[in-house]
């Protein structure tokens, strides 16, 4: 899936940014927002009943990336 490549690329960029400048408030928020816009995350329905399998995977991948950003401390990958 293209979203997996996008997330991998964004993570690498964010990790390098942290190495250069350190961790910062709202880490990854712009990237999360951009992914949600690109993959129409907010257009997806609230419950998974009306989503296709691909849309469910997209939602899960974006949520996992969001969680990674929230928990990243600059030490782990």
Find the domain containing 23 and state its range.
Answer: 2-71
**For position 75, what pLDDT does the model report?**
81
76 in a structural domain: no
52 in a structural domain: yes
* 62 has pLDDT over 90: yes
77 in a structural domain: no
CA distance 31 to 26: 10
33 in a structural domain: yes
In this structure, the dihedral spanned by the alpha carbons of residues 62, 64, 70 and 75, taken in order and rounded to 10 degrees, is -120
CA distance 52 to 22: 39
38 in a structural domain: yes
The count of domains in the chain is 1
42 in a structural domain: yes
* 55 has pLDDT over 80: yes
State pTM to two decimals. 0.86
DSSP 55-76: HHHHHHHHHHHHHHHHH--SS-
């Amino acid at each position: 899936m293209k979203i997996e490549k996008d997330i991998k690329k964004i993570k690498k960029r964010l990790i390098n940014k942290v190495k250069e400048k350190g961790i910062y408030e709202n880490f990854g928020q712009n990237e999360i927002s951009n992914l949600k816009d690109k993959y129409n995350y907010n257009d997806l329905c609230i419950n998974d009943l009306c989503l296709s399998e691909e849309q469910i995977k997209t939602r899960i991948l974006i949520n996992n990336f969001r969680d990674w950003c929230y928990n990243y401390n600059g030490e782990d990958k």
